[in-house]
Amino acid sequence: MSIKYESVVPWGRSFDEYVEMFKLTELDLEKDILGCGDGPASFNSIMKQKGRRVVSVDPIYQFSRQEIENRIEETYEEVINQTNQNKDNFIWTKIRDVEHLGEIRMSAMREFLVDYDVGKSENRYVFAELPFLPFHDNEFDLTLSSHFLFLYSDNLSFEFHRKAVNEMLRVSKEIKIFPLLDLNAARSIYVNEIIKLYSDYGYYVQELGVDYEFQKGGNTMLRISKYR
């Protein structure tokens, strides 16, 4: 079921954050990449400028550019205020303070908005949502899931997580999920179960440290691959 406009809270991350969160190498960036739940991130746009193509899927892509921009304006202060109230849950180093965070997020979202209409016409922004993806088997080399799976463990069941991981592995040779924490900054109750399940299935499963930690303790990602 599609999300309602009133429930959308756009919050876009930058290209540099994607590189750090997912430990992306130059070789990774040359792969056919799918981003699940990218929202208004700038990763797709910057990759296009670098001459590479990323496909992003998100339920917010059912909305127009103007609708997304309006929703960003409507929710921005709310998100900033919530972050300020919970700032002890974050590490303020690369991102210096809440004001700097807002600048980074708004810059990424503005980059996304400039690219959005062209990207939709080029089928780089696709309206879809896990656990169902409108792509062929093994269509992508690498699928990235940012700030969705595991993060919302209180709202999304283990069965949802299993179906979502299955679907990402259906369309891709390799997947990476970040972070492994829930919204309370605790390790998701599903992480170890997913690691065991897909290891038992015969996939190559790794929990890897990354050079990114904003949410305290959120400095590892999960990599599941069909090949070593």
Is residue 29 pLDDT above 80, yes or no?
yes
Contact 55, 126 (CB under 8 A): yes
Encoding tokens for residue 50?
Answer: 């670098």
Give residue 9's pLDDT: 86
Range of the domain at 184: 5-225
Contact 146, 19 (CB under 8 A): no
Structural domain count, the chain: 1
Give residue 228's pLDDT: 76
- The whole-angstrom separation of Cα 187 and Cα 192 is 9
Encoding tokens for residue 213?
Answer: 């930690």
Q: What is the pTM assigned to this prediction? A: 0.95
* Residues 95-136 pLDDT 10s: 999 999 999 999 999 999 999 999 999 999 999 999 999 999
Give residue 131's pLDDT: 97
List the CATH number of the domain containing 54: 3.40.50.150
* Residues 181-191 pLDDT 10s: 998 889 999 99
Give residue 3's pLDDT: 67
- 11 SS3 class: coil
* Residues 52-83 pLDDT 10s: 999 999 999 999 999 999 999 999 999 999 99
Q: Which of these ranges, 6-20, 45-59, 140-154, has the smallest mean pLDDT?
A: 6-20
Residues 4-17, mean pLDDT to the nearest whole number: 86
Contacts of 76 by beta carbon, 8 Å cutoff, 6+ apart: 102, 106
Give residue 168's pLDDT: 98
* Residues 204-218 pLDDT 10s: 999 999 999 999 999
